[in-house]
Amino acid sequence: MKQPAVYILTNKRNDTLYTGVTSNLMERIYQHKNGIKSNFASKHGCGLLVYFALYDDMEQAILEEKRIKGGNRKRKIALIEFMNPQWQDLYETLF
């Protein structure tokens, strides 16, 4: 399914966070989980999808990714906990 999305991955609760943007969320998270085309995420073991948001167009998604990346860690954690208070891996919800 191709649809612009912003996502946040982690290796475990309150540890390393990785923010990304993609046009195919399922495929991109699969790549992260399997170490394909994902240097930072692979190096830090970030394979848990803890946040995502879908957008109508890629321009919106890129702007949101930049906003999230420009924010501090506290804001990123608040964003995750609003959507996913248990920090569960949301990858399975994409199917």
Judge whether residue 30 has pLDDT over 70.
Answer: yes
pLDDT (tens digit, 9 = 90+) per residue, 52-77? 999 999 999 999 999 999 999 999 99
Mean pLDDT of the chain, nearest integer:
94
User: Tokens 């290796």, residue?
Assistant: 11
Task: Kindly state which CATH superfamily the domain 5-94 is placed in.
Answer: GIY-YIG endonuclease (3.40.1440.10)
Q: Which long-range contacts (CB under 8 A, 24 or more apart) does 79-87 make?
A: 79/8, 79/51, 80/8, 80/10, 80/50, 80/51, 83/51, 84/50, 84/51, 87/10, 87/13, 87/14, 87/48, 87/50
The whole-model pTM stands at: 0.94
